[in-house]
Amino acid sequence: MIFFRFANSGLEPLLPIYQRGILYGNANIREASAAGLGELVALTSSKFLAGPLIIKMTGPLLRIVGDRNPSEVKIAIIQTLGLILTKGGPALRAFVPQFQTTFVKALSDPSRRVRVEAIKALGLLMPISTRLDPLIKELVSGSLGKGASSSSETAGTIAVQTATLEALTVVLKKGGGKAKLPESIPSALNAGRELLAHEDEGIREGAAKVVGVSCGLLGVDVASEIVNDVVLGGFFAKDRSEMRHGRSCCVQRILSSPVGRELEEPLHSKLTAMTKKSMFDDSNAVREAACVAIGAVLGSALDTNACLSDVASSIIKSMDLKERIEVHQSVAKGLCVATTMKPDVFAGKKGLSILDAALKLAMSGVQRVQLAFNDFLWLALDVKGGEDGLEAYLGIANFENSRSMKSLFSKVLVRIKSVDVDEQ
């Protein structure tokens, strides 16, 4: 198949074909037309998509995306709108209100894939969106189960709240700095705080994300207050497992935020002690969340070596071959979090025992565990940067582990292109 880039004059004659299919075709034709238009956009250089041409593409898609279309059609349309946003940029500024309304409405769709695409699309909209305060207000309302965003009976209130929390996180992370009203970010923080003890695990995780990104925007004083009052203080009157889980999720998100390393050492030490204890909680959800949070504890520590010495035994104990698969996956994600925040955290002899344990799990018989620890080792050895990380490990590891790591490096790790911690 031959790929080429369309110039303006080459693309425009094809538009009527796809537009007619989008506007007047049946469900199958609409899906194929929207996806086909997306392919054209992807193959076209951005400089040829400015002005009237990009507007011609956008209008029909926005007009029909809200119709009673099957989820496959909506997914194709939203994905194409996302591509148009990526390529069109400032030329689409006049369409921001329509884009925003379309994507927020899609957060209430019965299809999870539609909701996921809407969240991604809202993130793509942020660079050209200027009026963030109304959007934040609407998402805060939806995350709390209020308003039109959560009224869909078919999707279910829980699913819609979870999607809205994820969308609020993306909007705050990529556009929160544009908020002008002083109450906008605090209102998001309060919504996240209120939902940390919710009965649904997904909502608690989403709420913790909102708390973390809000603290990052509001500064270390607010973050310290949240840690003292919510995570360590008496906010949770009855210490149910749901509340302990919300705390552990909150620890990860706050310490992973820009203010994580600015917390005072006594506060960080208390969070470290709490997270170590939670790694062996009776609740599986609490254990798994804490095993991820311990990575953020390490990554945000001012004295990395001291912190690693403190938590290493807890991490290695959680990497025991007899542990549950979900615990292993959570530990791997936590280690990825730590390495992403501080790339050299496991460099040298101080991290050897953890790298050795990770190697063993990367060669275990459980594929999900293998994949999780392959990602960690790819980051820890900086495979993208070459073989220096591997050579450093081989210089201190024993013979058997050296041989196994060389084999894993050449057969598996070098084939990994990238690792997205949030997607694990």
Q: What is the pLDDT of residues 156-191, one digit of tens each?
A: 889 999 999 999 999 999 999 999 999 999 999 999
Residue 132 maps to a domain = no
In angstroms, how far is CA 370 from the centroid of its own chain?
A: 21
- Spatial CA neighbour of 278 closest among 225, 235, 231, 340: 231
Say what the pLDDT of residue 10 is.
58
378 φ/ψ angles, rounded to the nearest 5 degrees: -60, -40
Specify if 54 maps to a domain: yes
pLDDT at 411: 96
Please report whether residue 39 resides in a domain.
Answer: yes
Q: What is the spatial distance between Cα 248 and Cα 208, in angstroms, rounded to a whole number?
A: 9
According to the model, what pLDDT value does residue 149 have? Answer: 42
pTM recorded for the entire structure = 0.89
Kindly state the tokens that stand for 75.
Answer: 């997914």
Burial class (CB in 10 A: 0-12, 13-18, 19+), 106: buried
In the chain, the number of structural domains is 1
180 within domain boundaries: no
- Supply the mean pLDDT for the chain: 89
Residue 348 located in a structural domain = no
Kindly state the average pLDDT of the residues 108-132.
93
Closest to 417 measured CA to CA, from 386, 383, 372, 369: 383
Domain extent at residue 75: 1-99
Q: Is residue 88 part of a domain?
A: yes
Binning pLDDT at 50, 70 and 90, where does residue 234 land? low
Residue burial 336-345, b: 16+ Cβ < 10 Å; e: rest: bbbbbbbeeb
Nearest-CA neighbor of 310 among 280, 352, 269? 269
Q: The domain spanning residue 25 has which CATH number?
A: 1.25.10.10
In a domain, 136, yes or no: no
Give phi and psi for 243, each to the nearest 5.
-70, -40
Look up residue 174 and give its two tokens: 């990529």
| Rounded CA separation 301/25 (Å) | 58
pLDDT over threshold 90, residue 300 = yes
Give, in order, the Cα–Cα distances in Å from 252 to each of 8, 184, 256, 320. Answer: 47, 23, 6, 22
Judge whether 108 lies within some domain.
Answer: no
- At 152 the pLDDT is 43
Answer for the pair 185, 139: CB distance below 8 angstroms, yes or no: no
**How far is it, in rounded angstroms, from Cα 341 to Cα 301?**
10
Q: CA separation (Å) from 239 to 33, 230, 416?
A: 53, 12, 42
Distance CA 396, CA 352 (A): 8
Q: How many helices and strands, by DSSP H and E, does the chain display? A: 21, 0
**Residues above pLDDT 90, as percent of the chain:** 71
Bridge partners, 6 (sequence order): 44
Sign of the C-alpha dihedral computed for residues 57, 63, 66 and 71 taken in this order: negative
Answer yes or no: is pLDDT of 50 > 80: no
- pLDDT at position 148 is 45
Instruction: Band the pLDDT of 370: cuts 50, 70, 90.
Output: very high
